[in-house]
Structure 1
Amino acid sequence: MDSAHLLSFLALDLLLVCVPGADWAYVIATALRGSPVPRAVAGLVSGYALHTVLATAGLAVLVAGSPRLLTALTVAGAGYLLWLGWSVLRRPAVPAAAADRDPGGAEPVEDRPFLRGATISGLNPKGLLLYFSVLPQFLTLRGHHLPVPAQTAALGLLHMACCAAVYLTVGLLARALLAARPAAARAVTRTSGAAMLGIGAMLLVERL
């Protein structure tokens, strides 16, 4: 694997990570509720660490070559997105200060941000697409290069680093810009919830 492959993967990966989705919605909601953003981001990254381990073990190639298995994983992720999107729309997050003033209008502070983050990223269809469809295209199978498992691990670690940097930035900006604007915070979280519903529905229709 040469530097050109790494740079090409980095550019595409950053583009995918910067597209708002379930991870963004969770980080923003966590920031607005006053929960620890780094813990939530660590959970998200750990979910992708699991993907990296499975892909390094060769499961990426196996899943990519098994339409039924890929469909099952995608449907599971889509179902989780639908549930999460509906939950966000039903009870949109508001800044922690506003929640203190209006106890009946906000969801309680999330007490397991790491675990929920790991579940979200572990079932995120965008993550499945990256690891089981996009990543194998950047592996060099011929010539004097690193073994395929080592290349897979390197690309997976690069994706995890991109996620950590982008999601920490998103969480800190959300807390700084929306903390004093409950109406804007509700609008942002409702938009994220609607987006998750739309993505989940689209994935189900496409796969089923």
Structure 2
Amino acid sequence: MSLSSVLAFWTVALLLIVVPGADWAFTISAGLNGRSVIPAVSGLVAGYAAVTLVVAAGVGVLVAGSPALLTALTLVGGLYLMWHGVTTFARPSMPHAGESAGTDWRTFRRGVGVSGLNPKGLLIFLALLPQFTDPRGAWPIAGQIGVLGLAFMITCGVFYLGLGTLTRTTLHTRPAAARLASRLSGAAMVAIGAWLVLDRLPI
């Protein structure tokens, strides 16, 4: 596996990460609540780690080849995003200190759900990762996918740590703006989840 392949994949992955979506909305919401954005970002990265393992193990190909299984995964992921978006909109996060460790753990679990249950993320991995692997290379395909997935996770972690920290820093002393940003992020998660569900429902 050549360094140029890793760099090419990293460039494409970075472009996908900086495009606003469910991860953005979740990170912004988490940035307004809790002592740190690390639990939220760690959850997102852990979710993508699970997706990487699934794809490397070949399970992702089975999921992509099974319309019923892919539809079920899409519905679960979409409904989860909608539920989380509704709760975020109804109870907008506000910047404050003194959150408990349990809140951090709950935020981590939600982060895993946001990225790990996102079928679009799985399909991105299925569509992108194989294009940057070398079947004739010295490394097995699973190992190459692991390296590419690690590059994606590191980039994702760095970017969302910056986004979440910027959110906290910018809106910490602006409660009205923080409330609005939180509700907008919740509405965005509802919209993305609804789109995922409607995209799979028969017309």
- Please give the TM-score of this superposition, normalised by the length of structure 2: 0.87
Match of 1:84 in 2: 84
Letter in 1 for 2:128: V
Q: Give the length in aligned residue pairs.
A: 198
2:198 is matched with which residue: 181, 192, 205?
205
Residue aligning to 1:165:
158
Q: Which moved more, 1:190-199 or 1:160-169?
A: 190-199
- Structure 2 segments unaligned to the other structure (5+ residues): none
Aligned twin of 1:53:
53
How far off is 1:189 after superposition?
Answer: 1.6
The residue number in structure 2 matching 1:116 is 110
Q: Counterparts of 2:26 and 2:183 in 1: how far apart (Å)?
A: 12
The CA RMSD over aligned residues, in Å, is 2.2
User: Deviation at 1:19?
Assistant: 1.9
Mapped contact 1:21–1:192 kept (Cα < 8 A): no
2:133 pairs with 1:139: yes
Q: CA deviation at 1:173?
A: 0.5
CA distance in 2, matches of 1:200, 1:189: 17
Instruction: Write the distance in 1 (CA, Å) between the matches of 2:130 and 2:60.
Output: 7
Give % identity: 50
- Do the aligned residues in 1 keep the contact of 2:39 with 2:104 (CA within 8 Å)? no
3-state secondary structure, aligned to 1:96: coil
* Alignment-derived partner of residue 150 in structure 1: 143
In the superposition, relative to structure 1, how do residues 199 and 26 fare at CA in structure 2: closer, same or farther (>3 Å)?
Answer: closer
- Cα distance, 1:140 vs. partner? 2.8
Give the CA deviation at 1:145: 4.6
Contact (CA 8 Å) 1:33, 1:110: kept in 2 or not?
no
- Given that residues 95 and 179 in structure 1 are in contact (C-alpha distance below 8 angstroms), is that contact kept between their aligned partners in structure 2? yes
Q: Which amino acid aligns with 2:133?
A: L
TM-score, L = length of structure 1? 0.85
Tell me, yes or no, if the aligned pair for 1:32 and 1:179 is still in contact at 8 Å: yes
Equivalent residue number for residue 44 of structure 1: 44
CA contact (8 A) 1:94 1:186 kept: yes
- SS, match of residue 142 in structure 2: helix
Matched, 1:24 2:24: yes
Deviation at 1:70, TM superposition (A): 1.7
Compare 117-126 and 153-162 and name the one that shifted more.
117-126
In structure 2, what is the Cα distance between the partners aligned to 1:71 and 1:133? 17
State the match for 1:64 in structure 2.
64
Q: Deviations for 1:139-184, whole angstroms, at most 9, x for unmatched residues?
A: 333x345221111111111111111101110111111101011111
- Which letter does structure 1 place at the counterpart of 2:193? G
Paired residue type of 1:118: V
Give the counterpart letter for 1:89 in structure 2: F
Aligned equivalents of 2:173, 2:7: Cα separation in 1: 39
Unaligned segments of structure 1, at least 5 residues: 100-108
